[in-house]
Amino acid sequence: MASPDITTFQPRLRVLNREQALAIHTAALEILEKTGFKMEHPRVLEMLADKGCKISDGDWVCMPPHLVEEALKTAPKQITLYDQKNAKAMELANENSFYGTGSDATFTQDLETGERRRTVLQDVSHFAKLVDGLENIDFAMSMANPEDAPIEDIYVYVFAEMVKNTHKPIVFIADSGRDIAKIHEIACLVVGGEEELQSRPFILNYSEAISPLRFPENVMEKLIFCAQKKVPLCLPSGSNAGGGAPVTLAGAMALGIAENLVGLVVHQMAGKGSPFLFGPNVSALDMKSSVVCYGCPEWSLTQAALADMRDEIYGLPIWAFAGASDAKVMDAQAGAEAMFSIITALLSRSNLIHDVGFLEYGSTSSLEMITMANELIAMSRYYVQGIPVNDGTLALEAIERVGRGGPGSIFLMDDHTYNHFMDALFLPKLLDRSRYDAWKNEGGMNLYKRCNMEAKRILLEHEVDPKPDTVLTEIEQILKSS
Amino acid sequence: MSEFKALTDAVMKGDIQTAVAETQSALDAGANVQDILDKGLIVAMDEVGEKFSTGQMFVPQMLRSAKTMQECMKLIKPLFQEGQLTAKGKVVIGTVRQDLHDIGKNLVAMMMEGAGFTITDLGVDVSPKDFTQKAEEVGADIVAMSALLSTTMPAMRETIKALQDAGIRDKVKVMIGGAPVTENFALEIKADAYAPDAGSAVIAAKKLLGIS
């Protein structure tokens, strides 16, 4: 008999030891104290000076480490995102992982023609609706930078489009303090008011500082807005190895973390206790094409390292990426790269994992790619559950029955199989395991084709209850006033 | 075989020390400065450009070669009479108004310089007025603009308009690039060329000015 209370080990990846984690953290603090950074928001500059930062050359700031320590103490260790029906959807804390799409793709792979074309607003609605209909995709981002939206209010338009087509949490982009206020207004309409949004936020803002060490005014405007309104926010910079940051991953991480810490310090000054999702984007610049890679092992490795630093030092929920590729079409490379980042993000327990469904280093979005990723995430989640060991799973009784059952006795017929197969095994929906003849008779389709059909089916059949007419009317008014 | 083979090799390898020494010894031996430039340095950078575009060289190696060439240029530049240095063309480059992202722009500037263009880099957040004034001032052949954010792309159109208003649009070619920028957008705003990356930017610039 097995002991009834054997805990299940859930496979877990670690890539840094404590000494490494502390050394990178210390380097980040040293960057802020010795090298400093460029702060282009005048009021923030004053705030930092008041707190004891050294200012030189007008807007160059050197920050003492104690400010970082204080901010780490006041930032909440848990951020809960709700869906748009007020239900808890994503508890960003500890080892919880959630996947979602990405933003701002210039192109998309057309679902009907398969061609790469410029994105339009309608794509935003399709992506949001698909996200809504996929069980392993937890939040939506725009996946498009539509050419038919007025450019000065492009982020307001894509936000409105997402709200109309999904009830899941939304990670949104804004340009400045001006359009973020409009987006916030729409979000308040959806949940019935500013207080409601504060207590049950369904939105999280993604902004970026510029690596190395530059904090533009419009970026800080958004950060202060979020801190004051308690809208959860992340502020990763593009501290990519060889691009915005040193080519060696340790240095790139130290720089990206330093930049994130600046964001955190200012954020906590502007709104003590407001939610801040931690983490830089540390991918690699490709040394031939100079693109920022979305399918490379470097990004997966640095975010696993960040998860270790979260556990060793920061204790804040973290930002991550997965399910994307540098391939131009959804081919074997796309599948391999997507799976590599999806499983490692989960194995290292990244918290909020975006960019699912990108091709072409984030320039092209693909509905099929998200549909495939949905299944790869299921596969990874199955793996990470580990192997529960108890009387039920050791199944000695079933072994006894079938083993001694004589000719014709098979496990497939046994009640134990019938009772447990759905939980015990991973049952794929799109990954094909049919016998050759069956596959051939069904049209001999590859995974891309099957994902294409599945995405089309979901867009046709999945229903998102519309937002109330009053809300929709007010959203239209906000858009018109733009 | 070129008399400047050692120099050419050193530039291709990005060996600054050797390249500078080779340049100096060529000068000491009385070589023609235009020959050092054309047959030594530019030949090397053409080959570097070729190797880079066919994937036989990495970006940092290409940039080191460009830097090596610049170091050699420091020695020979003062020896040219005013206006005598025949450059491939004058390029005024920058990121457009409100856009502060300059990695791509810097790469383009370095590669164009390596290919023999004379670069005036205006940096980031360059207003239509500044682009126009500088283009007039240096007599630019090309104005090259970069944008990373879709929200800053309209500034490209405005810059082209500013060039028109200043009456110099027909004297300069306009090139644009950056992540959200597309060929269609270039057509729409009537830019003369769009380049998706630094390597293509050099090729496009040469094509615009009708040089090989």
| Ranges of each domain in chain B | 5-79, 90-208
Instruction: State phi, psi for A177 to the nearest 5 degrees.
Output: -65, -20
Task: Give every CB contact of residue B3 below 8 A, 6+ residues apart in sequence.
Answer: B31, B39
Asked if B101's CB is within 8 angstroms of A151's CB, the reply is no
Give which of B92, B53, B93 is closest to B200, Cα–Cα.
B53
Of A145, A244, A290, nearest to B197 by CB-CB distance is A290
Q: Are A262 and A37 in contact (CB under 8 A)?
A: yes
CATH top class, domain A73-384+471-480: alpha beta
Q: Chain B interface, mutation test: which of A207, A248, A288, A363, most B Cβ atoms within 10 Å?
A: A288
Number of neighbours of residue A272 by Cβ within 10 angstroms: 13
> Which chain B residues are Cβ-neighbours of A216 within 8 angstroms?
100
Give bridge partners of residue A340 from the DSSP assignment: none
Residue A70: φ, ψ to 5°: -65, -45
Q: Please say whether the beta carbons of A99 and A137 come within 8 A.
A: yes
Per DSSP bridges, beta strands A54-56 and A60-62 are antiparallel
Residue to mutate among B124, B125, B151, with most A CBs inside 10 A, is B151
- The alpha-carbon radius of gyration of chain B (Å, integer) is 18
pLDDT of residue B85: 66
Closest A-chain CA to B105: A290
Please judge whether B107 and A290 are an interchain contact, meaning their C-beta atoms are less than 8 angstroms apart. Answer: yes
Contact call for A106 and B179, based on CB within 8 A? yes
Helix H or strand E segment including A365: strand A364-365
Quick count: other Cβ atoms within 10 Å of Cβ A51? 15
| Closest of A164, A231, A238 to residue A204, by C-alpha | A231
pLDDT band at A407 (very low <50, low <70, confident <90, very high): confident
The mean pLDDT of A347-373, rounded to a whole number, is 97
A98-113 as b/e, with b when 16 or more CB fall inside 10 Å? bbbbbbbbbbbbebee
Q: Please state, as a whole number, how many other Cβ atoms lie within 10 Å of the Cβ of residue A253.
A: 29
Rounded to the nearest angstrom, the minimum Cα separation between B152 and chain A is 9
Sorted by sequence, the CB contacts under 8 Å of residue A36 that are 6+ apart come out as: A54, A56, A60, A61, A62, A63, A213
Nearest by Cα to B127 from B161, B104, B103, B150: B161
Using DSSP, state whether A193 is helix, strand or coil.
Answer: coil
Interchain pair B59, A290: CB under 8 A: yes
Are the Cβ atoms of B182 and A106 closer than 8 angstroms? yes
**Numbered ranges of CATH 3.20.20.480 in chain A:** 73-384+471-480
- Among A218, A242, A288, beta carbon nearest to B55: A288
Greatest alpha-carbon pair distance for chain A in Å reads: 88
Peptide bond into A468 cis (omega under 30): no
A413 DSSP assignment: G
Average pLDDT, chain A: 96
What is the tens place of the pLDDT at every residue in A165-190?
999 999 999 999 999 999 999 999 99
Question: Mean pLDDT, to the nearest integer, of A372-394?
Answer: 97
Q: How far is CA A108 from CA A95, A328, A377, A379, B51, in A?
A: 33, 11, 22, 26, 32
Please report residues of B whose CB lies closer than 8 A to that of A363.
179
Interface of A with B (CB under 8 A): 104, 106, 118, 145, 151-152, 154, 175, 210, 214, 216, 218, 242-244, 247, 285, 287-290, 363
- What end-to-end distance do the CA atoms of chain B give, in Å? 21
Please tell me the pTM assigned to this model: 0.92
Of the candidates A151, A244, A285, which has its C-beta nearest B154's C-beta?
Answer: A151
User: Using CB atoms, which residue from A154, A214, A218 is nearest to B150?
Assistant: A154
State the CB neighbour count (10 A cutoff) for residue B17: 10
Give me the residues paired with residue A117 across strands: A108
d(CA A237, CA A223): 13
Cα separation, A30 vs A37, whole angstroms: 12
3-state DSSP helix/strand/coil % of chain B, to nearest 5: 55, 10, 35
Gap from A98 CA to chain B (nearest CA, Å): 27
Q: What is the pLDDT of residues A237-259, one digit of tens each?
A: 989 999 999 999 999 999 999 99
Q: List the strands of the sheet with A54-56, edge to edge.
A: A54-56, A60-62, A37-39, A214-215
With CB atoms and an 8 Å threshold, state whether A287 touches B59.
yes
Q: Do A280 and A259 contact (CB within 8 A), yes or no? A: yes
Domains B5-79 and B90-208 share a fold: no
Q: What would the mean pLDDT of A261-288 be, rounded to a whole number?
A: 97
Contacts of B107 in chain A (CB under 8 A): 290
Residue B77: its pLDDT value, please? 84
Give residue B129's pLDDT.
Answer: 95
Superfamily of chain region B5-79: Methionine synthase domain (1.10.1240.10)
Strand pairing partners for B174? B143
Phi, psi of A55, deg, nearest 5: -110, 135
**Whether residue A215 has pLDDT greater than 70:** yes
CB-based burial label for A216 (10 Å; 0-12, 13-18, 19+): buried
Six token digits for residue A26 = 């210390």
Please tell me the distance from the alpha carbon of residue B172 to that of residue B163, in angstroms, as a whole number.
9
pLDDT of residue B148: 87
CB B58 to CB A287 under 8 A?
Answer: yes
A243–B103 C-beta distance less than 8 A: yes
* pLDDT tens for each residue of chain B, 212 residues long: 468 999 999 999 999 999 999 999 999 999 999 899 889 998 998 898 888 888 899 989 988 998 999 899 899 988 877 666 666 799 999 999 988 888 889 889 988 887 888 899 999 999 999 999 999 999 999 999 999 888 899 999 999 999 999 999 999 999 999 988 999 999 999 999 999 888 889 889 999 998 86
Phi, psi of A4 (to 5 degrees): -70, -15
What is the distance between the alpha carbons of residues A158 and A101, in angstroms, rounded to a whole number? 14
CA distance A175 to chain B (A): 8
Torsion-angle region of residue B139: left (phi > 0), alpha (psi -120 to 50) or beta?
Answer: left
Rounded to an integer, what distance in angstroms lies between the CA atom of residue A145 and that of residue A364?
Answer: 10
Query: Which letter does DSSP use for residue A388 in this model?
Result: -
Select from 3.90.1010.10, 3.40.50.280, 3.40.50.2300, 3.30.428.10 the CATH code of B90-208.
3.40.50.280
Chain A neighbors of B154, CB-CB under 8 A: 151-152
- Burial tier of B158 (Cβ tally within 10 Å: 0-12, 13-18, 19+): middle
Q: What is the pLDDT of residues A72-120, one digit of tens each?
A: 999 999 999 999 999 999 999 999 999 999 999 999 999 999 999 999 9
Pairing of strands A88-92, A79-82: antiparallel
Q: Which residues of A touch B179 (CB under 8 A)?
A: 106, 363
**Per the structure block, which two tokens stand in for A173?**
């982009």
d(CA A89, CA B63): 48
Residue B47 CB burial class (10 angstroms; 0-12, 13-18, ≥19): middle
